[in-house]
Chain A
Amino acid sequence: MSLVTLNLGQCGNQVGQELLNVVSNDAFNAQKNCPGVQGKTYYACALDRFFREEQTGELAARAVLIDMEPKVINHAIATAAKSDMWKYGDGSYFCEKQGSGNNWAKGFCVHGPQHEEAVVELVRREVERCDRLAGILTMMSVAGGTGSGMGTYITQCLRDMYPHSFILNHLTWPYSTGEVIVQNYNSVLTLSHLYQLSDGMLVHENDSVHKICAQLMNIKHISFSDINKIIAHQLGSVLQPADVRGSQSDYSGNPVGDLMSSLACHAEYKLLSLSAIPHMSSSSLAYSSFTWPGLLKHLRQMLIANARMEEGIDWQVCVPPVRQGAERTGEIKQLQFNTSLANLLILRGKDVSCADSGAFLHPGLYSSWLPPEAAFRTWSSLMPFNGYEKSATLISNSQSLLQPLNKMVGKAWNMFASRAYIHQYTKYGISEEDFLDSFTALEQVISSYTCL
């Protein structure tokens, strides 16, 4: 099953490139280290998911690169071509001369409609080259103008064009201390619009990933490339072949479809967060060994205490007693405990059959509508991923993004109260009513997650 990736804007293109590097490296390593039939199936499946073979025998990525200015795309294409392992398809990119200026309205109302035909045509070409389409993955940031504004518009077009395909949006949330001044406006507009269009939104926050780089990977001068590598690792661990049905070597299921059906079961709840364990710099990796019980225990506590990495977890937080049909009150109750709607655990590596994930089935972890057996799924694969002998990733639809979302909406609302920067948006067609609609939609989402 193949995935068509859409890289939108500077962030989308930079992260998308790292993702393709990670998955291609992992596939090649799997084939090298596990020469048996397992390795071969994994390799074939992984490559088919993200790449196709051109007539020259080279691997071309099933990706479409979109940006409004040429610098980033040129750099991406040149780097990929130099790497000798894979390259971008010829002509699978669209760029214009002038950027969107961090203006969501410009991306959505001007650049989107203007370039709709060209972009949709590029996507259609890639989709037609897939034997079986697993879904479309869009990668973008929510803070800028092109990725967020034009990305939302293109998602809308693709939703209309492929109403029965899965659309998974990968979103990068900016540093809360500000990379772009109008980032909160852009984020609010993006999230409110995407909520109607997307099947699921996988979120990475720059703040959390930065902490992982600083504390776990021991990088002194963290660059965006380090951050993108971590994001690519976590995302790759989700999208690489894994068995969804029970035995460890059947990779034929639809990853995206299965992900959606297990996690995004309700239209009000579409925000998915990722936690992965372990993260270690490659120099320390050689001296460490992991056990499944240890990894799973940490991962479970990371889920409950809402931590994104395995250091600094609050072990005091524990599962509250199971509520027997309790009434939902409106306040954010005991925020330290993170209630989940659904969880998906992906285990990769040696002896994965011995891993016991029963602790995740505790009913106290989940809201009361679904029985834990329906709310929790496990995928597994015997192939070690990206150099880690054993690794586990948890995708969860839970309250973990509630706090950042709340803060983001709060800041945007404050700025909106003074009407600052609004003239830049009304210039291109987003009125104050549109803003109010977006705010209402997101307040609704916050309220739904709070009452989980």
Chain B
Amino acid sequence: MTQSIIVQVGQCGNQVGCRFWDLALREHAHVNKKGIYDEALSNFFRNVDTRRSDGENNDITGGKIRSLKARAVLIDMEEGVVNEILQGPLRDVFDSTQLVTDVSGSGNNWAVGHRIYGPACQEQVVEKVRRAAEHCDSLQCFFLIHSMGGGTGSGLGSYVLRLLEDEFPEVYRIVTSVYPSAEDDVITSPYNSVLAMRELSERADCVLPVDNQSLVEIVNKIRYMSHQGKPGHVIKKDSTIISGQGGAGGAEKPFDAMNNIVANLLLNLTSSARFDGSLNMDLNEIAMNLVPFPRLHYLVPSLTPLYTLADVNVPPRRLDQMFTDAFSRDHQLIRADPKHSLYLACALVVRGNVQVSDLRRNIERLKPSLPFVSWNQEGWKTSLCSVPPVGHAHSLLALANNTCVKPTFLELKDRFMKLYRKKAHLHHYLHVEGMEQGCFTEAISSLSSLIEEYSQLDATKGTLTPDAPRLTIAT
């Protein structure tokens, strides 16, 4: 069984991470009725006997659950968020050896996060990550959660990514990045995002971009359905993707609903690695199947269903509806239009009581409306996990490697250039030692070449590329 470690950086990263741990505990409590520390739990948690005080070596394998500790490293350069977590109901899941904090924050400045805090707390970070890795039998993946628009998450987060690559080159790095929307309140977020993107393009194995605007829309849609739904369409309690009910968390805080969505994304992604199914998919298979070229590893996530109705007499058509929904724009976690761009590859992670024939039928049904690149006409990676998520009978996570991320990146580049042309706010960055204009030009050229790669693939869309001539054998 493999283990994964969550590294949460910055305010956004830690808040999303907090929701993730809450929902993970809820999911395992739902499935694991006997309280035995099994392999599924060991993916994210350690079983520790806290009564013994002889230091580190008190991991217990197998047997009843004593006290669960998360396999996580929490990093933030100001103490507010992390302290809140440590005083909240999840305080027992973390211990002080997993935290890296400082006092003054990064001031929304990528350079401060990357060039100052990065080297300053490098040793601490490496030591804590190494300790967490030593507790793992077989470490497979690091999940980095951060936002791109701020200073710590973006700057320090990308520095940590570099550290993870240097110290643990064999372990996969899957990054969940919250991109700034157009209406972001941080003025320098384009700078921070583009500077961080360069590191992501080079060093991450997969990136799952998410943006706040889409999350807000999903939350609003669910709230609308709950409050104004037609009679007979009452939504089942705690079955929505935004609900944290049943978890350990206390009163719902703002942003909790949106963060729950991202937490559910991570839970569904790892479900097949944790639980049984008829067609398993491990995390290394995601990187293998969805990344045809090393830099094109941005996967658009979409989750269905968003909620389940309380009406038990649900026709079986609902299963097909779930597949159709996964490809509709309302369910994506980032603003993009995949149906009008080119699919390079697509993964379907199905949970619950769904059989391979249902899966095949739906793929056949949806294929004609989805444009795939010419050399990957059947670019589907499928996985069936038999354990459904809490509150639903089945669910589907679709990860699409699609050129529709290109407009998002173009927009980001535009916003960056608007500021950069006027050299607005540039002095805050250039004051930091080690930071020079070259960094900016390199970052923007990395983004431009990424956009160019996507454009080249887009150009083949719609044109009938003839099959490459086959090798001929002399007879």
The chain A residues found within 8 Å of chain B, CB to CB, are 10, 14, 69-72, 75, 96-103, 145, 175-182, 210, 213-214, 221-225, 227, 328, 330, 409-411, 413-418, 420-421, 423-424, 439-440, 443-444, 447, 451
Contacts and interface: CB of A to CB of B under 8 A. Distances in A.
A99 B364 contact: no
Q: Classify chain B's interface size.
A: 35 or more
6 contacts: A71-B39, A71-B280, A99-B280, A99-B282, A177-B363, A222-B357
Contact of B382 (A71, A176, A179): A179
B400 to A, nearest CB: 12
Contacts of A101: 282, 284-285, 287-288
Contacts of A451: 475
Contacts of A71: 1, 39, 276, 280
Residue in A70, A98, A447 with the greatest tally of chain B CB atoms within 10 Å: A98
A414 B344 CA distance: 14
A101 B470 CA distance: 29
Interface stretch (B226-234, B289-297, B438-446): B289-297
A221 B472 CA distance: 43
Contact of B2 (A97, A181, A409): A97
Nearest to B296: A420
A413 B357 CA distance: 28
Given A69-B282, A420-B293, A440-B471, A178 B378 contact: yes
Residue in B288, B356, B363, B379 with the greatest tally of chain A CB atoms within 10 Å: B288
Nearest to A421: B292
Contacts of A10: 279-280
Given A224-B278, A413-B470, A102 B288 contact: yes
Q: Nearest 4 CB-CB pairs, A to B? A: A101-B284, A97-B138, A178-B378, A420-B292
A98 B2 contact: yes
B2 A410 contact: no
Given A97-B1, A222-B357, A447 B364 contact: no
Contacts of A415: 375-376
Contacts of B475: 328, 330, 447, 451
A70 B287 CA distance: 21
Given A98-B2, A181-B376, A221-B355, 11 more contacts: A10-B279, A98-B138, A99-B280, A102-B289, A103-B288, A180-B285, A182-B288, A411-B378, A414-B467, A415-B376, A443-B470
Interface in B257-288: 276, 278-280, 282, 284-285, 287-288
Residue in A72, A176, A424, A440 with the greatest tally of chain B CB atoms within 10 Å: A424
B137 interface: yes
B40 to A, nearest CB: 9
Contact of A222 (B282, B284, B356): B356
A12 B116 CA distance: 53
Residue in A96, A210, A411, A421 with the greatest tally of chain B CB atoms within 10 Å: A421
Interface in B341-371: 344-345, 355-358, 360, 363-364, 367
B345 to A, nearest CB: 5
Nearest to B172: A101
A75 to B, nearest CB: 6
B355 A222 contact: yes
Contacts of B364: 177
Nearest to A99: B282
B473 interface: yes
B375 A414 contact: yes
B380 interface: yes
A210 B289 contact: no
Contacts of A175: 360
Interface in B378-425: 378-382
Nearest to B356: A224
A179 B279 contact: yes
Contacts of B381: 102, 178-181
Contacts of A447: 473, 475
B378 A177 contact: yes
A102 B382 CA distance: 12
Contacts of B374: 414
Contacts of B287: 101, 424
A181 B378 CA distance: 7
B467 A69 contact: no
Nearest to A414: B375
A330 B474 CA distance: 10
B140 interface: yes
A224 B284 CA distance: 23
Contacts of A176: 378
Nearest to B294: A423
A191 to B, nearest CB: 15
A70 B39 contact: yes
B363 A99 contact: no
A439 B469 CA distance: 13
A99 to B, nearest CB: 4
B468 interface: yes
A98 B288 CA distance: 14
B360 A223 contact: no
A181 to B, nearest CB: 4
Contacts of B378: 176-178, 181, 411
A77 B276 CA distance: 14
Contact of B468 (A145, A177, A414): A414
A283 B137 CA distance: 49
Contacts of B356: 222-224, 227
A98 B376 CA distance: 27
Contact of A69 (B1, B382, B471): B1
Given A177-B363, A424-B291, A443 B471 contact: yes
